[in-house]
Structure 1
Amino acid sequence: MSSGSSSWSRALTQISPYTFAAVGIAISIGVSVLGAAWGIFITGSSLIGAAIKAPRITSKNLISVIFCEAVAIYGVIVAIILQTKLESVPKSLIHHPDSLRAGYAIFSSGIIVGFANLVCGLCVGIIGSSCALSDAQNSNLFVKILVIEIFGSALGLFGVIVGIIMSAQATWPA
């Protein structure tokens, strides 16, 4: 066995599983909020620009901003769920395989949810931007593009579902 793989495996087993769990929870909420903010930025700037031509679009196109905000809420919900998965174990069982599995499960769940919501926020933001610009030109396009935006926001829910399924593996030793 090479010393490179040995040092990596040693590092991954010697770092506390609570550290991995905490980082996963932080990524879940932090990257989800980043995705929501990025989507709101994209949608909001187009909405304000298009509202100059057609002020009537402002109120009904705020739904695109709400879809982006839902992405942040998904991250908060999963972070709360992951936080409830943390359990205290005796110091002698910190590096037990079940503890490591639980820490890695929470970590990977947070990664999946965070990055799924980052991409979802971008997707919803771009579609929301297109919705605002299209609605300013032709009001008949609003509902058609809104349906596409709903499908885009479902991507975030898929990330939440996968994250919850993955977090079910987080069982700490008794």
Structure 2
Amino acid sequence: MSSAQCASEYCNQGWSEVLTHMSPYGYASFGVAFGLGLSVIGAAWGIWLTGSSLVGAAIKAPRIRSKNLISVIFCEATAIYGVIMAIILTNKIKAPETSGYYLEDGWDYNGYYYAGYGMFSAGLSVGLTNIASGISVGIAGSSCAIADAQDSSLFVKILIVEIFASALGIFGIIVGIIQSNACEFPTFAISNNYNN
């Protein structure tokens, strides 16, 4: 077989081969990365939306500057949820206690992939939820700053809406913890067939 035929055969396998032959530890690590990275993006986006409106509205009413910083704190909470989930997932990634026997009988390969896929989905769930939470808190915080600059009696009413938007991130981390509870990497072989 020529090298051109080998290359074309390799190209025809496509992304499905890459995704099905990736290490479960790789999936788990991507789950940690997506959970943390997307949460930070959501927090930054929310702070950007809130901060720009807060600074603009503070020109008309300087009294809102310190009071409306609570909106920025709510946005920052989404990043903290991502950090918490990343710590939980990272503590679940454990290497096998017996090294060098990955290809021998007795290893629970389904357990590895179950843990890897579960941690990937948990991280992705938390990350995507925190993007939505960060943006919604940012929009509500932006409205809160503008409304407070116009009429100070509206601050508490819009702050309640902002609290509900922040609850989305809490729901996301609860779902992520539930998803990751059953994700345990096997640390030893089921049987000792590799010694025979």
Q: TM-score, normalised by structure 2?
A: 0.82
Pairwise CA distance, 1:87 = 1.2
Deviation larger for 81-90 or 129-138:
81-90
Q: Distance in 1 between matches of 2:171 and 2:147?
A: 28
Q: What value does the CA root-mean-square deviation take over the aligned residues?
A: 1.7
Which residue pairs with 1:47 in the alignment? Answer: 54
Aligned length: 169
CA contact (8 A) 1:98 1:171 kept: yes
Q: 1:37-67: CA deviations, max 9, x gaps?
A: 0000000000000000000000000000000
CA contact (8 A) 1:35 1:119 kept: yes
- Which of 74, 80, 85 is 2:87 aligned to? 80
Larger-gyration structure (1/2): 2
1:15 aligns to what SS in structure 2? coil
- Which of 125, 128, 131 is 1:115 aligned to? 128
Q: Which amino acid letter does the alignment assign opposite residue 82 of structure 1?
A: L
CA contact (8 A) 1:78 1:164 kept: yes
Structure 2 matches for 1:102-141, cutoff 5 A? Answer: 102-141=115-154
Q: Which amino acid letter does the alignment assign opposite residue 46 of structure 1?
A: S
Which residue pairs with 2:69 in the alignment? Answer: 62
CA shift in 2, pair 1:135/1:161, >3 Å: same
More helix by share: 1
- Structure 2 stretches lacking a partner, 5+ long: 1-12, 189-196
Once the two structures are aligned, what percentage of the paired residues are identical?
59
- Structure 1 stretches lacking a partner, 5+ long: 1-5
CA shift in 2, pair 1:94/1:156, >3 Å: farther
Q: Distance in 2 between matches of 1:155 and 1:144?
A: 18
CA contact (8 A) 1:28 1:79 kept: yes
2:85 aligns to what SS in structure 1? helix
CA shift in 2, pair 1:162/1:41, >3 Å: same
Q: Distance in 2 between matches of 1:10 and 1:42?
A: 41
